[in-house]
Structure 1
Amino acid sequence: MERGFTYFDTAYTYHGFKSEEATKEALVKRHSRDEFTLATKLPPRMLKSVEDQDKIFNEQLEDCGVEFFDYYLLHNIGMSAYQQACKYDTFGFALKKKEEGKVENLGISFHDTPELLDEILTAHPELDFIQLQINYIDWENPGIQSRRCYEVARKHNKPIVVMEPCKGGNLALVPEKAEGLMKAYNPETSIASWAIRFAASQEGVMMVLSGMSTMEQVLDNTHIWQISNP
């Protein structure tokens, strides 16, 4: 936050269902509400009834220690999760929370085909943004189809939040030949920064999320943008 980063992403299921509580302790209790934006996610796959939605949402508000979420997503949407969300009208539920002022921006995190994404965004124009897995290895990966999903989001004029820019850390440790090319071009820039800057350079991307597990990684990731945006 001292370096100007104010968007924090969590979810109901992360870290054994403890991530939202950790967010409250580390972020919410230490800073005023207007100093940060908070994103969390509702898992449609866990729903067994319509009532579960309110139960989980209220639990999330309490666990995070907030009265509203800046960004609220239906989590890990693929075909089965989408069918579950349709069964319980989870899109309608989330939109109601937005109308009540408990959600500022409504979106989905998506893991499936561009065809399904197009179907969802056509059926649900009320979505404010889309979270996609985008990185240079998965750009043409037939199993992920980052580029094609990105193009669908652009077709529907949805701002994009990027997840997995470093593919779980894999793009921070690249093959020796690739590392040599990167270091030859710019020896001062970290290997991970190439992946993050690739994701951030795509038109329509509003946010790039980076999972970090050490202070060194936090300092490197924030340093990237201090260089890019002095």
Structure 2
Amino acid sequence: MVDALMDAGFNCLDTVYPYHEGLSEIALKKCVVERYPRESFKIFDKLPTFAITEESQLEPIFAEQLERCGVEYFDYYLMHNVSGFSEKGWLDVDSFAFTNKKKEEGYIKHLGLSTHANAEFLDNILTVHPEMEFVLLQLNYLDWEDEGIESRKCWEVARKHNKPVMVMEAYKCGFLSDVPKESEGLMKKCNPDKSVVSWAMRFVANLEGVFLVLTGSSSLEQVENNIEEFKNIDPLSDDELNVLKKVSEIINANITVDCTKCRYCVEYCPEEIDISKIFDLYNKEKILGENEWSPIGNAYVNYSKLPGVGIASDCSECEACIEECPQEINIPEVLKDVAKTFETEGYGF
């Protein structure tokens, strides 16, 4: 995957401290740092503000990140998800001062922040911290006018503060690569030569101020598809933009849980419920309108039989997940309906 990306002229790779218990950073070292000249690639990493409760954690975490990645500096470094639920890690602990110092010392070339907060919050934080050089935002056509996520409004705030924008969730964790058939039909009728993925990519890549799109590829095929899309990243026409509005209306009319699969909730679930995986199955079930037996329900059954995993009905309603959810979903309540949907006699429960 890395070789395909680099051979095509793309050299920006993103990693995060807690992902896969640190294996994400180690994999980057093994696949990139140990195989390519340092000047040939750019690394993006993030300070996990949501996991920080005291100043003594800052230096060890940063040092560990450098060691895991096998580099002497980060090209781009972000304050990870600066928002209300992570304020202990950046407000009670002055993480901004720490990362600014690391930049002065040369360990960080460019410093910015990511957030899932709303536009007002982003406006305030960029006013207080104008030294942030760029922002990473959740942008995609489905969330563009969403009143909870405020994708468009956050982008407008970034432009107001003249901050270059990095994009996350361009495909909404894969959701926009497999849209309802009615939506796909509208796209193909308008532009039969463009894939469903192309529509999502072209929407964000052509926004003013966007300098990087993180695609979150998880296979060689996805990397190759993204490379091809970026070779022909033509702007969307007015007709195409109007089609996307209709597509969004169709999807929003069917989507049940606005989960982006960030998995922050999963880490804190005492019952070891893979909430994001379960919600993904639940959304697909609702969109397809299945009843009684369905392949999606069968997938839930297969998941429930894995050793050491919790299912929806195992939820103890401790609400630890709610505190960690950037989308502010009432997860325990949704899990109750997930259990009613899948955990039935028809599936052997």
* TM-score range relative to shorter protein: over 0.9
Residue 181 of structure 1 and its aligned partner are, at CA, apart by 1.9
Matched, 1:211 2:216: yes
2:169 matched to 1:164?
yes
Which secondary structure does the structure 2 equivalent of 1:52 belong to? helix
RMSD: 1.2
**Preserved CA contact (<8 Å) 2:113 2:136:** yes
Structure 1: 5+ residue stretches without partners: none
44-53 or 77-86, which deviates more: 77-86
After TM superposition, the structure 1 = structure 2 runs for residues 69-80 of structure 1, keeping only pairs within 5 Å, are 69-80=74-85
Does the CA-based 8 Å contact 2:205-2:233 persist in structure 1?
no
Q: For residue 134 of structure 1, what is the aligned residue in structure 2?
A: 139
Unaligned runs of 5+ in 2: 1-5, 235-349
Aligned to 2:178: 173
> Residue 151 of structure 1 corresponds to which residue in structure 2?
156
Q: Is this contact kept in 1: 2:66–2:72, CA < 8 A?
A: yes
Listed one character per residue, the Cα deviations across residues 35-78 of structure 1 (whole Å, up to 9, x for unaligned) are 00000001112113212110000000000000000000011221
The structure with the largest helix share of the pair is 2
Residue number in structure 1 paired with 2:72? 67
Match of 2:106 in 1: 101
- The TM-score normalised by the length of structure 1 is 0.96
Larger radius of gyration: 2
Shift of 1:83: 4.4
Identity of aligned residues (%): 49
Cα separation, 1, equivalents of 2:106 and 2:58:
17
The change in CA–CA distance for 1:139 and 1:228 in structure 2 (over 3 A counts) is closer
Aligned length: 229
Q: Give the structure 2 partner of residue 115 of structure 1.
A: 120
Runs of 4+ in structure 1 over 3 Å off: none
Q: Higher RCO, 1 or 2 (CA under 8 Å, sep at least 6)?
A: 1
Whether the 8 Å CA contact 2:159–2:209 is kept in 1: the answer is: yes
Give the aligned residue type for 1:21. Answer: I
Once the two structures are TM-superposed, the CA of residue 80 in structure 1 deviates from its matched residue by 2.6
Contact 1:212 1:218 in 2 (8 A): yes
Structure 1 residue 108 displacement after superposition: 0.7
Give the TM-score normalised by structure 2.
Answer: 0.64
**Hey, which of these two has a bigger chunk of strand by percent?**
1
Kindly indicate whether the alpha-carbon contact (under 8 Å) linking 2:50 and 2:88 is maintained by their aligned counterparts in 1.
Answer: no
CA deviations 1:146-171 (Å, max 9, x no partner) are 00111111110000000000000000
> Once the two structures are superposed, what CA deviation does each residue of 1:164-198 show, in whole Å capped at 9, x if it has no partner?
00000000011112111222233332211110110
Indicate yes or no: 2:19 matched with 1:20: no
The DSSP-based 3-state class of the residue aligned with 1:206 is strand
